[in-house]
Amino acid sequence: MKLYSNEIVFRGHPDKVCDQISDALLDAYMKEDPNSRCGIEVMGGKGKIFITGEVTSTAKVNVESIVNRVLKDIGYEEKYEIINNLGEQSRDIALGTNNEVGGAGDQGIMFGYACNDTEELLPTAMVILQKLSKWYDEARKENKDLLPDGKAQITGYYDDKMKLQKIKYFTISYQNTEKNRSYTDKLIKDKCIEICNQYHIEVENFLINPTGRFEIGGFNGDAGLTGRKIVVDSYHSFARVGGGAFSGKDPSKVDRSAAYKARELAKRYLKKYNLEWCSIQLSYAIGIDKPLAIYIDSDKGNIDVEETLYEECKPKNIIKDLNLHHICYEETARFGHFTK
C-alpha cells in the first residue's frame, strides 16, 4: 500500500471565484458574439476586484453587473470596488486564428485522462471530492452557519494499480460562523461518510478545520487569481497537467479546447480498447491548425495514432464537434472542468 493525496477547493474559494468571474464574462461576450476572442484574467482581494486581459468582440457587456451577480450567487454580499482594465487582443494573434484555416490560438501542451475507477471515468477520490464540493454549495444556501470558502483533501491508501482502498485522512477546512461548530462539523463528517460509502471506502481519520477556527475567508482572508488551480481543474494530480489554465479563454485558445478534446478522446479509447486508464497529449503551435503531435498512453502501453485524428483535432473541428461556441463556461469553473 502507498499513500497519495488529492484536493479540491470549494466554489467560494478566492481563486475559484476569480475563475467563475472570468468565465461568466466570457459567456456574456460569446452569447452576443460567438466569435469573440477573450483572455480574461481576474484578481481579487481586500475589497477590490481587478479585471484585465484581452477581449475583441462586437458584444456590449456590463462587466460590473456580471461580477456582482457572480459574487451574489456564490454567497458573498460584500461590496467590492471593480476595476476594469480589459484591452483588445493583439492583431498579431488574429493573423493566425481568424482566417479560414483557424489556427491554434496559442502554442502549448494539453493532456486528457480517463480511468475505469468510476462511472464518471475519473479517479474515485476525485469524484468523492467533487460530490462533497457540490453538496457543500447547496448546504450553505440552507444553513447560514456555513460560509462559501473552503477546501478538502483526501490522503488515501492505494494499491499497485493506483486504486483507492481506504482513506487515512479526510481533511476539510470550511469557512463558518463558528457559532455551531459541533453541529456543522458533524453535518460535514456525516456527508463525507455517506459519499465514501457509495464507493465502499472507509475513512480512518477526519481533520476538520485543523487550526481550530475558520471564520474569516473569501477575499477578506486571501487573494484570488484566475487560473491558479489548474491541478484541481483537471485531474487532481492523478494525471499529467498541461501548462495552461482554462477559465476566461474562448475556445480558439487550445489551452482550453484541446484539453477538453483530449479528455473526450481518452474516454473514447478507454472504452474502445477496454483499458484501465488512458492518457492523451496534444501539442500545438500558434497559428497552425493541425496538432504538432498526438501521444496516447495506457495501462496496455502506447496506442497508435490514426492520421485522421490530426484532422479531428484541428481547433475549428474541436469547436464544432464539442459545440464550444454554445456551452456555459461559468458552470465548468465551479467544481472542476471534468466531472463526467
Note if 144 is an active site residue: no
Question: Which residue type, as a one-letter code, is found at position 211?
Answer: T
Note if 233 is an active site residue: no
Note if 290 is an active site residue: no
User: Of 54, 64, 276, 299, which residue is the catalytic one?
Assistant: 54
User: Of 7, 11, 13, 24, which residue is the catalytic one?
Assistant: 13
Note if 228 is an active site residue: yes
What are the Cα distances from residue 255, in Å, to 104, 200, 281, 292, 325? 9, 36, 12, 14, 15
User: Of 16, 131, 140, 334, which residue is the catalytic one?
Assistant: 16
CB 294 within 8 A of CB 280: yes
Q: Output the CA torsion 27→328→117→186 (10° steps).
A: 90
DSSP code, position 78: -
By CB atoms closer than 10 A (0-12, 13-18, 19+), residue 268 is: middle
Distance CA 122, CA 178 (A): 35
Q: Count the helix, strand and coil residues of the chain and give each as a percent rounded to the nearest 5.
A: 35, 25, 40
User: Of 214, 219, 246, 338, which residue is the catalytic one?
Assistant: 214
User: Of 106, 137, 233, 255, which residue is the catalytic one?
Assistant: 255
User: Of 11, 229, 267, 334, which residue is the catalytic one?
Assistant: 229
User: Of 7, 19, 33, 41, which residue is the catalytic one?
Assistant: 41
Note if 333 is an active site residue: no
Note if 222 is an active site residue: yes
User: Of 37, 253, 261, 314, which residue is the catalytic one?
Assistant: 253
User: Of 185, 223, 276, 290, which residue is the catalytic one?
Assistant: 223
Note if 253 is an active site residue: yes
Note if 249 is an active site residue: yes
CB 322 within 8 A of CB 260: yes
User: Of 222, 264, 312, 331, which residue is the catalytic one?
Assistant: 222
Note if 41 is an active site residue: yes
User: Of 140, 151, 261, 337, which residue is the catalytic one?
Assistant: 151
Note if 69 is an active site residue: no
Note if 255 is an active site residue: yes
User: Of 11, 140, 249, 334, which residue is the catalytic one?
Assistant: 249
Note if 229 is an active site residue: yes
Residues noted as catalytic = 13, 15-16, 41, 54, 151, 214, 222-223, 228-229, 249, 253, 255
